[in-house]
């Protein structure tokens, strides 16, 4: 009916989410500091990282949720090539010059 699944779940309603095939081309656990596990995933569009965290906990007969998410790339756009809001404002006001990407 167009509602987000989490809205129904928070109301205690039964949620049935359609499954779809996604591709995980990279998965690396970058650190473990119990009870936290940090990981980096390279995946296809449409992948729900929160669902992967949930499945991770389920596979361990535990529980897991995503407490933080940082998207580092979308297609050809990378976080490492981005600028801050302050830099953008400075660019718009002409106080900073755009540096060529190397």
Instruction: Please answer whether residues 64 and 49 qualify as being in contact, where contact means their C-beta atoms are separated by less than 8 angstroms.
Output: no
18: containing domain = 5-73
pLDDT in tens, 4-40: 777 887 888 888 877 889 999 999 999 999 989 999 9
Identify whether 47 is part of a domain: yes
Rounded (to 5) percent helix, strand, coil in the chain: 25, 20, 50
How many domains are there within the chain? 1
Residue 83 lies in a domain: no
Let me know if residue 13 belongs to a domain: yes
Which tens digit of pLDDT belongs to each residue from 49-92? Answer: 998 999 989 999 998 999 999 999 998 999 999 999 999 888 88
């Amino acid at each position: 009916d167009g509602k987000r699944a989490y809205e129904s779940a928070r109301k205690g309603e039964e949620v049935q989410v359609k499954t779809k095939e996604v591709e995980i081309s990279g998965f690396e656990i970058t650190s473990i500091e119990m009870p936290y596990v940090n990981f980096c995933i390279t995946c296809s569009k449409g992948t729900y990282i929160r669902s992967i965290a949930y499945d991770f906990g389920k596979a361990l007969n535990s529980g897991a949720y995503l407490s933080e998410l940082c998207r580092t790339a979308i297609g050809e756009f990378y976080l490492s090539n981005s600028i801050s809001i302050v830099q953008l404002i400075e660019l718009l006001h002409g106080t900073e010059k755009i540096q060529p990407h190397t």
